[in-house]
């Protein structure tokens, strides 16, 4: 019989689900996140998994994890250290114990702690007896036995039964944090609509975990986290890749153009192509090319034909696309290139995050090849910056590179769905029918943007290609002075985009001892670390950049008011070096991390305090 247990209110909680790649930890974490978001908590997630399709089972290298942080106020990061760890095997415990808070709860599948599995994980002996007497609350659950007992009447084979272990773990955490089961049950019914026995097995395993938690003495309390006070509206949980795809679709609708995406699958960008391929109902056209070069080449062709054209990739693919980006630059055709950054070089760390494509995005092409570079900073605002990338590209007739990264692409958070009426219009510079004496490279005197004529428009035929063009006519030209003139035009046209960029806002005081500078996907961790120190009365402020090339105007007016400028990035210091080139009157200190992981708030606050305490 279930015992009556007390309820304890908490403001925020961090949970990590961890196990072998085949243990379903990503699905488990996603279900907990979605349920929690539906209950009105703010959530931030961090999926972490190995690059190998068949990672070595039972080894630390094969561990897949999903961390989430939820609370009753705005959550900016997936959290540093865990209140609860679910470890489905010894390797999961070995890989994640360092991320546990002292006094935290560790839920383990005790039956997986066999001699063979312990040896694979690097343990000389079973650590659980020692942990039970130490700093953690250990819940040693006989998961396999309880799951088999729960589903024994369904006639499933052993392999199918084993696949429901993750739902047992989910049921335990649902009880622990007072989450309802109904949303996950509906998910099963939709996902396995043609397999009723699988639906029933997962539901039974979920309930088995929930009931086990209700009876086991080591779990003496529910934890209650109240709703967060979010801006009123309709919300859904969204990851960065899906948000990016939807931002592109919204831009196409506002521009009244058909969206075309020509791409080659590459981790961690593939989901954008997949999401766009599902949206034929909205008129989206997608093409999965045989390689990266073909992907961007088809997009340039679609742009020439009057489509809103995009291509998606990660760092290695951006390198392969570089020559074709130059073609779009010299032809002055609109094109959006999404680069979801990952660890490198070469294949590097394909499932891990990094910010090391910045210099490649800005300068990584032959010749004088300027294009606009912007960066998203949260999973949900990938929508906003994908939309903005489309707007800039179409209105200025330039290629735009949008940088996201693996952390943003796979991480998720609640997103307030905007109304299309609230999004700005996109004014495409099409040549107007009836315009006389059309010259394809005649420019608007203010923006230097040329007018766009589409093939098939009678009287507006013109040449497009990779050779240099004569000013105004677009005819092939080898005149030295004309090449310099056109080169200057292309650069100045990109430079003028800065007039539309807002000056970044400073979080904290406008002047002081330390200004922390970040860009892209580091926003949540940097904001949280600086905010923590501001609340302690420390003399620190923060500014974050989403518009990279060109920089917003008057950035110097921010920097000149601080004694120290510390640039923090997940690379070896590329943005700091870039700032040194463009604003050389300032000295930039660097704080860098290149581990395939995001920053932690602890390490950031320690770095900031060292500068603040330096007399």
489 lies in a domain?
no
Q: Is the pLDDT of residue 550 over 90?
A: yes
Task: Give the pLDDT of residue 3.
Answer: 53
Task: Give the pLDDT of residue 510.
Answer: 97
Residues above pLDDT 90, as percent of the chain: 87
* One domain, residues 202 and 60: yes
* One domain, residues 171 and 276: no
pLDDT tens-digit map of 275-297: 999 999 999 999 999 999 999 99
Last residue of a domain, one of 374, 396, 422: 422
Task: Give the pLDDT of residue 250.
Answer: 98
CATH number (domain holding residue 519): 3.40.50.920
Q: Mean pLDDT for the chain?
A: 95
Task: Give the pLDDT of residue 54.
Answer: 73
* One domain, residues 63 and 168: yes
Determine the Cα–Cα distance for residues 358 and 375; give it in Å rounded to an integer: 10
Task: Give the pLDDT of residue 574.
Answer: 98
CATH number (domain holding residue 123): 3.40.920.10
Last residue of a domain, one of 201, 224, 247: 224
**Max intra-chain CA distance, the chain:** 90
594 lies in a domain?
yes
Task: Give the pLDDT of residue 243.
Answer: 98
* One domain, residues 169 and 312: no
Q: Is the pLDDT of residue 470 over 90?
A: yes
* One domain, residues 204 and 256: no
* One domain, residues 310 and 219: no
* SS3 state at 367: coil
Q: Do residues 84 and 173 touch, judged by C-beta distance below 8 A?
A: yes
Task: Give the pLDDT of residue 230.
Answer: 82
Using CB atoms within 10 Å of the CB of residue 183, give its burial: 0 to 12 exposed, 13 to 18 middle, 19+ buried: middle
Identify the domain containing residue 51 by its residue range.
6-224
252 lies in a domain?
yes
* One domain, residues 358 and 271: yes
Q: Mean pLDDT, to the nearest integer, of 437-447?
A: 95
Task: Give the pLDDT of residue 1.
Answer: 41
461 lies in a domain?
no
Burial 75-96 (b: 16+ CB within 10 A, else e): bbbbbbbbbbbbbbbbbbbbbb
Q: Mean pLDDT, to the nearest integer, of 468-472?
A: 96
Q: Mean pLDDT, to the nearest integer, of 219-236?
A: 87
CATH number (domain holding residue 284): 3.40.50.970
194 lies in a domain?
yes
* One domain, residues 150 and 120: yes
* SS3 state at 243: helix
Task: Give the pLDDT of residue 4.
Answer: 64
82 lies in a domain?
yes
Q: Mean pLDDT, to the nearest integer, of 96-100?
A: 94
Burial 46-64 (b: 16+ CB within 10 A, else e): bbbbbbeeebeebbbebbb
pLDDT tens-digit map of 54-90: 778 889 989 999 999 999 999 999 999 999 999 999 9
Q: Is the pLDDT of residue 46 over 50?
A: yes
Q: Is the pLDDT of residue 570 over 60?
A: yes
Determine if the pTM surpasses 0.75: yes
501 lies in a domain?
no
What is the number of domains present in the chain? 3
Q: Is the pLDDT of residue 174 over 50?
A: yes
Q: Is the pLDDT of residue 611 over 60?
A: yes
* One domain, residues 541 and 414: no
- Indicate the pLDDT class of residue 2, thresholds 50, 70 and 90: very low
Q: Mean pLDDT, to the nearest integer, of 366-379?
A: 97
* One domain, residues 412 and 368: yes
368 lies in a domain?
yes
pLDDT tens-digit map of 592-602: 999 999 999 99
Task: Give the pLDDT of residue 7.
Answer: 85
Last residue of a domain, one of 190, 224, 258: 224
* One domain, residues 150 and 53: yes
DSSP string of 46-102, one letter each residue: EEE--S-TTPPTTSGGGEEEEEEEEESS---SS-SSEEEEEESSHHHHHHHGGGEEE
Higher per-residue confidence, 418 vs 229? 418
pLDDT tens-digit map of 215-226: 987 787 888 999
Task: Give the pLDDT of residue 109.
Answer: 94
* One domain, residues 266 and 217: no
């Amino acid at each position: 019989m279930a015992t009556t247990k007390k309820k304890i209110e908490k403001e925020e909680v961090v949970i990590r689900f961890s196990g072998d790649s085949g243990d379903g930890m990503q699905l488990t974490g996603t279900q907990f996140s979605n349920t929690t978001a539906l209950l009105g908590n703010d959530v931030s997630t961090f999926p972490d998994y190995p690059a190998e399709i068949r990672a070595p089972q039972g080894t630390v290298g094969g561990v897949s994890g999903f961390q989430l942080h939820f609370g009753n106020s705005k959550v900016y990061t997936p959290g540093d250290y865990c209140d609860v760890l679910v470890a489905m095997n010894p390797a999961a415990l070995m890989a994640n114990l360092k991320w546990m808070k002292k006094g935290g709860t560790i839920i383990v599948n005790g039956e997986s702690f066999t001699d063979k599995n312990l040896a694979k994980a690097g343990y000389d002996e079973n650590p659980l007896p020692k942990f039970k007497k130490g700093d953690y609350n250990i819940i040693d659950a006989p998961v396999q036995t309880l799951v088999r007992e729960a589903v024994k009447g369904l006639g499933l084979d052993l392999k199918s039964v084993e696949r429901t272990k993750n739902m047992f773990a989910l049921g335990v955490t649902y009880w622990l944090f007072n989450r309802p089961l109904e949303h996950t049950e509906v998910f099963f019914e939709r996902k396995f609509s043609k397999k009723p026995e699988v639906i029933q097995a997962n539901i039974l395993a979920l309930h088995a975990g929930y009931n086990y938690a209700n009876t086991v003495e080591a779990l003496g309390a529910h934890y209650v986290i109240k709703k967060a006070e979010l801006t009123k509206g309709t919300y859904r949980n969204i990851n960065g890749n899906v948000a990016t795809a939807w931002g592109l679709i919204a831009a196409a609708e506002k521009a009244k153009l058909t969206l075309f995406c020509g791409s080659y699958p590459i981790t961690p960008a593939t989901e954008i192509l997949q999401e766009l391929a599902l949206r034929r109902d909205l008129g989206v056209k997608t093409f999965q090319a045989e390689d990266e070069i073909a992907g961007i080449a088809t997009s340039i062709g679609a742009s020439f034909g009057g489509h809103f054209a995009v291509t998606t990739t990660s760092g290695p693919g951006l390198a392969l696309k570089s020559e074709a980006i130059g073609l779009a630059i010299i032809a002055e055709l609109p094109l959006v290139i999404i680069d979801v950054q990952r660890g490198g070089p070469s294949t590097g760390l394909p499932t891990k995050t990094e910010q090391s494509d910045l210099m490649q995005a800005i300068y990584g092409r032959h010749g004088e090849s300027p294009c606009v570079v912007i960066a998203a900073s949260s999973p949900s605002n990938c929508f906003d910056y994908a939309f903005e990338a489309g707007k800039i590209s179409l209105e200025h007739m330039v290629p735009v590179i949008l940088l996201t990264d693996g952390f943003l692409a796979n991480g998720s958070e609640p997103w307030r769905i905007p109304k299309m009426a609230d999004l700005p219009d996109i004014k495409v510079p099409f040549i107007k029918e009836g315009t006389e004496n059309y010259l394809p490279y005649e420019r608007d005197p203010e923006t230097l943007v040329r007018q766009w004529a589409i093939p098939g428009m009678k009287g507006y035929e013109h040449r497009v290609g990779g050779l240099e063009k004569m000013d105004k006519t677009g005819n092939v030209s080898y005149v030295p002075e004309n090449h310099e003139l056109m080169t200057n035009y292309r650069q100045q046209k990109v430079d003028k985009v800065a007039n539309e960029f807002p000056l970044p806002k400073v979080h904290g005081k406008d002047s002081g001892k330390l200004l922390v500078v970040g860009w892209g996907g580091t926003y949540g961790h940097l904001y949280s670390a600086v905010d923590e120190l501001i609340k302690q009365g420390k003399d620190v402020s923060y500014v974050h950049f989403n518009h990279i090339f060109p920089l917003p105007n008057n950035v110097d007016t921010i920097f000149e008011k601080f004694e120290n400028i510390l640039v923090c990035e997940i690379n070896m210091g590329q943005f700091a070096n870039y700032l040194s080139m463009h604003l050389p009157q300032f000295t930039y200190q660097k704080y860098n991390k290149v581990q395939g992981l995001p920053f932690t708030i602890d390490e950031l606050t320690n770095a900031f305090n060292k500068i603040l305490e330096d007399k």
